Chains A and B, each alone.
Chain A
């Protein structure tokens, strides 16, 4: 499991917090994460119900369960040749964000000729990092999302995909991927019924600040 030092920001004070980017997690990390994330999901949902928050304002991934996802992922994460790869951000001794990517079987929807993309199967930050305006919650830490996407872009570069990354975004996250990450919105897909976003080669270079 290789890790890289980085920083996150504590939203309440603006202070920088030491963190690590991990680029090859074992499945155990999903259990570790969900052990802490699940009670927070319950607290958030309880707050939302108490305040009669409408369904459209409740975080769309409130019911996700990363530990359950191991049942599906255990057959996919089958070793160094697996097309799947698990990434994460850790700070203050707990997982702040997780991402599963796949590098086989997904083609660019922008280019007419076949070009592979790294596809983000799943990405979520820890529930305490969610902003939920309806119940007045602000994120604890910031900086998780773009740094996880950066890992996907770097993996895409390593594979010779020139930074191309694709994903299906939940509705509440569309602004993040479209505006903050510079991904192209290719509209609503049928399966899954979410909007598909893709980072082009040019956008990937800009994302990485034109690194050589």
Chain B
């Protein structure tokens, strides 16, 4: 195999200061590599700080998801049984979703995404299945999760919050 023969780099004859700074730098960990990820060689930490942060936002994501489903059901004035049937879910799956208990499995998210016509990928982020930092979605989810408590009929502000969040999930 031959050299690639790019034009040689020109380095100054005197590099003492640069060398001194290089030698004083703590370079015991210097691995970098977007290509490693492309080649499937990127090993993600079991729990990085970002993931911890995502874990914290996943909690509000689950609440937002539960309210999304609950509001959507109430907007249609359907019983949990009827709404579960409409989405193709078991009743206990719908109850789990509405109670923000455990992160729903991807199949459940997929059915919700199809039934409510919202982005499956964004539902995955809300449920904590995808560790992607989406600050816009996070703030929308927190705002939605913090909106007023449940009532029999959606109030005007709840309906507005619901539709604003559905729009955010479409984008």
- Chain A interface (Cβ within 8 Å of chain B)? 1-2, 4, 6-9, 16, 21, 23-28, 55-56, 59-65, 69, 72, 77, 79-80, 82, 84-86, 97, 100, 119-125, 129-132, 138-139, 142-148, 150-151, 154-155, 158, 167-173, 175-177, 180-181, 187-188, 190-194, 208-209, 211
Across the two chains, which residue of chain A brings its CB closest to B16?
A7
Docked CA distance A144–B25 (Å): 9
A26 touches B32 (CB 8 A): no
Docked CA distance A131–B44 (Å): 19
Docked CA distance A146–B28 (Å): 11
Across the two chains, which residue of chain B brings its CB closest to A55?
B46
By a CB distance below 8 angstroms, the chain A residues around B7 are: 158
By a CB distance below 8 angstroms, the chain B residues around A55 are: 45-46
B22 touches A143 (CB 8 A): yes
- Interface residues in B85-136 by Cβ distance below 8 A to A read 131-133
Docked CA distance A64–B30 (Å): 13
A143-B5 in contact given A4-B11, A121-B34, A177-B32 (Cβ < 8 Å):
no
By a CB distance below 8 angstroms, the chain A residues around B36 are: 61, 64, 122, 192
B28 touches A194 (CB 8 A): no
By a CB distance below 8 angstroms, the chain B residues around A122 are: 32-33, 35-36
A190 touches B132 (CB 8 A): yes
B4 touches A24 (CB 8 A): yes
By a CB distance below 8 angstroms, the chain B residues around A192 are: 34, 36-38, 42
- Interface residues in B1-17 by Cβ distance below 8 A to A read 1-12, 15, 17
Q: How far is the CB of A129 from chain B (nearest CB, A)?
A: 7
10 smallest CB-CB distances across A and B, nearest first, come from A131-B28, A192-B37, A145-B27, A2-B8, A121-B35, A146-B22, A145-B30, A61-B31, A168-B34, A143-B23
A170-B33 in contact given A144-B27, A180-B25, A194-B42 (Cβ < 8 Å):
yes
By a CB distance below 8 angstroms, the chain A residues around B47 are: 56
Of the candidates B19, B37, B46, the one whose C-beta lies within 8 Å of that of A193 is B37
Across the two chains, which residue of chain A brings its CB closest to B135?
A187
A193-B42 in contact given A6-B19, A61-B36, A209-B18 (Cβ < 8 Å):
yes
B8 touches A100 (CB 8 A): no
By a CB distance below 8 angstroms, the chain A residues around B10 are: 154, 158
By a CB distance below 8 angstroms, the chain A residues around B26 are: 131, 142, 175-176, 180
Of the candidates A7, A21, A119, A187, the one whose C-beta lies within 8 Å of that of B23 is A7
Chain B residues touching A, majority SS: loop
A187-B133 in contact given A24-B6, A121-B35, A194-B42 (Cβ < 8 Å):
yes
- Chain B interface (Cβ within 8 Å of chain A)? 1-12, 15, 17-19, 21-23, 25-39, 41-50, 131-133
A-B contact pairs, 15 of them (CB 8 A): A1-B3, A26-B2, A61-B31, A62-B43, A65-B41, A79-B4, A138-B28, A145-B27, A168-B33, A170-B31, A170-B32, A190-B132, A190-B133, A192-B38, A208-B18
Q: How far is the CB of A174 from chain B (nearest CB, A)?
A: 9
Across the two chains, which residue of chain B brings its CB closest to A80?
B5
Docked CA distance A62–B33 (Å): 13
Of the candidates B5, B15, B42, the one whose C-beta lies within 8 Å of that of A6 is B15
By a CB distance below 8 angstroms, the chain B residues around A77 are: 4
By a CB distance below 8 angstroms, the chain B residues around A1 are: 3
